[in-house]
Amino acid sequence: MNRKAIKVALMIVAALAVALTTSAVMASTKAKTELPEYVGSKACLGCHADEFLMWEPSGHANMLTQVMKPTDLPGDPKAAPAEIKAELDKADWIVAGHRFLARDPATGELKYLNVQWDDASKAYVAYKGGASWNQGCAGCHTTGYDKASATFADAGIGCEMCHGPGRDHILGKGDVSKITATTDAQVCGSCHNGTSQMPDGTRWPVGYRPGQGNFTDGGFTYLKFDISKSAVDYTGKKLRQYAQWEASAHATSWPTLQSNPAAGSYCYKCHTADAIVEGATFDPAKHQGSVSSVTCVACHDPHGSSVEGQLRKEPKALCESCHNGSIAEGGTFKAGSEIHHPMKEMLGGYGAIGVAQTKGAHSGESFDGTEITCLSCHFAYNNHDFKVVTPADAMRTNAAYDSCTKCHTNSSSESRGVFLEMMQESVETKLHALTADIATIDAALKANANVLGAKLEAYQAAKTNVSFVEADASRGAHNFEYATKVLSAAQKAIADAKTALPK
């Protein structure tokens, strides 16, 4: 038996012990008073072993760990300067692997110490401590935190933090109506929201439980994100993921789909988190129209993942799983079709009818040999609105850098901005003229379906190619050379089609 199998077996034995205890409690008419409401994550292991084993090594599970011996610390405390080592000697708990807590003898609160672990240098460094962890952080660093008694069910973010207390689910022999399983972003947003507080100054939404209203219902407030200000807010104090996501197109993907009369059930697979998470097992009928937009769990697996950031796939593959035009790699769109979100094809320089594949500067490696992915440009500030920070944005808001800076190191913001604007204006001008011509030709076709004669097929291909560039929505930024070739080919075909129209 390998080590993992032994570990699983031991955990299941522990979980069975919990289950047997629970069974004994169930025999009592006082079950609900004898079994705590929050039962702890190990109680979930017996039935949910796969999820538990994914979660156990995750950042969620290890958000708060106890210091029992020096080897529990992230590095050798003997290597730290004397004043820092003196602080480390007081440590009772480690927060997120790099900050440390000790109990204040005067107040009984856990407070941050004047030391932190720096992952980059692999060394202990000074930190301005003294803040109350109980007041500022406890409700999001633990599961089942009780503010009055300052106690918790799990150190770290356990199963019940996202699914709600498990006692009734266990007493109901796994009754799914007694536990919460939701794709609602409120669950993640209740902690991933940044500069925020309750009316009494507590910095988490006291009283909020998954699946029960909004985390702001009890008076909790947080820093909102104004997407129109762009980069200025990315550098704001503790502006976190939820506020940025809330301002993004991902947050409104479901209502956007509902408002589109041409949308069908096929669209669910990219416009709703439920379909993304459930995959082939997703059945719209079972959800009765109650689904979420593209929320946090559509991209991140809250249980755990081998990919950085607990992403469900590597970033490029994750984005392209939805941002593609649904054709085979290297394939071509069908003439007469209207294209949707073909970013993968535009970046790869394929898909247009009658135009040879052309990879652009953003299609592969950057100048330093690293792969250019969607996040290279759309995640410059770890910004979950995924808005590109253009050179103009950066100059307007005095941001430290723009999305182009990492690769285009030998140019100024001004020159980068001029070049980008020139490319996008060129594509926009062509699209505007072609769209007007298409409207004219379509009106003529509506009056006489045979007006183009033998030129109809070439016109339909050109119209599809224009739709391709327009739907890509980058206005040439993804692959300027290819977009220009596609539009130039379309211009010729459409100009030829116009000669068939009555004078």
| C-alpha span between 224 and 247 (Å, rounded) | 9
Under DSSP, the state recorded for 7 is: H
Cβ density class 429-455: b for 16+ within 10 Å, e for less: ebbeebeebbeebeebbeeeeebbeeb
Check residue 174 and give its pLDDT. 95
Under DSSP, the state recorded for 326 is: S
Spatial contact of 313 and 375, defined as CB atoms under 8 Å apart: no
Check residue 160 and give its pLDDT. 98
Which positions of the chain have pLDDT values less than 50? Answer: 1, 3, 6, 8-10, 12-29
Query: Which tokens is 194 given?
Result: 């940044």
Cross-strand pairs, 410:
none
Domain extent listing, the chain: 1-60+158-180, 64-136, 250-312, 343-372+407-498
| C-alpha span between 215 and 202 (Å, rounded) | 13
DSSP character string of 160-217: HHHH---HHHHHTTS-GGGS-----HHHHHTTTTBSEE-TTS-SS-TT--TTSS-TTT
Check residue 237 and give its pLDDT. 58
Determine the 3-state secondary structure of 348 from DSSP. Answer: helix
Spatial contact of 459 and 467, defined as CB atoms under 8 Å apart: no
| C-alpha span between 258 and 290 (Å, rounded) | 12
Q: Which amino acid is at 276?
A: I
| C-alpha span between 391 and 404 (Å, rounded) | 7
Q: Which residue has the tokens 């994100």?
A: 225
**Model's pTM, two decimal places?**
0.89
Q: Is the dihedral of CA 286, 249, 264, 479 positive or negative?
A: negative
Query: Which tokens is 249 given?
Result: 């197109």
Determine the 3-state secondary structure of 85 from DSSP. Answer: helix
Under DSSP, the state recorded for 62 is: T
Q: Return the H-helix or E-strand segment holding 3.
A: helix 3-26
Q: Is the dihedral of CA 194, 197, 203, 206 positive or negative?
A: negative
| C-alpha span between 210 and 226 (Å, rounded) | 26
Determine the 3-state secondary structure of 140 from DSSP. Answer: helix
Long-range contacts of the stretch 77-84 (C-beta < 8 A, 24+): 77/124, 79/123, 79/124, 80/115, 80/123, 80/124, 81/124, 84/114, 84/115, 84/124, 84/125, 84/126
Q: Sort strands 196-197 and 93-95 into parallel, antiparallel or unpaired.
A: unpaired
Q: How many CB atoms lie within 10 A of CB 376?
A: 18
Check residue 8 and give its pLDDT. 47
Q: Which residue has the tokens 């199998």?
A: 5
Q: How many CB atoms lie within 10 A of CB 207?
A: 15
Spatial contact of 350 and 328, defined as CB atoms under 8 Å apart: no
Check residue 122 and give its pLDDT. 95
The arrangement of secondary structure in 343-372+407-498, i.e. its CATH architecture, is Up-down Bundle (1.20)
Give 446's contacts (C-beta < 8 A, 6+ positions apart): none
Determine the 3-state secondary structure of 300 from DSSP. Answer: strand
64 backbone dihedrals φ, ψ, rounded to 5° = -135, 115
- CA dist 393 to 64, 234, 386, 400, 404, Å? 38, 11, 14, 11, 11
Nearest to 338 by CA among 467, 173, 502, 485: 467
Check residue 240 and give its pLDDT. 81
Spatial contact of 304 and 323, defined as CB atoms under 8 Å apart: no
Check residue 364 and give its pLDDT. 78
- CA dist 332 to 196, 350, 489, Å? 49, 7, 15
Check residue 6 and give its pLDDT. 45
Determine the 3-state secondary structure of 469 from DSSP. Answer: helix
Check residue 19 and give its pLDDT. 47
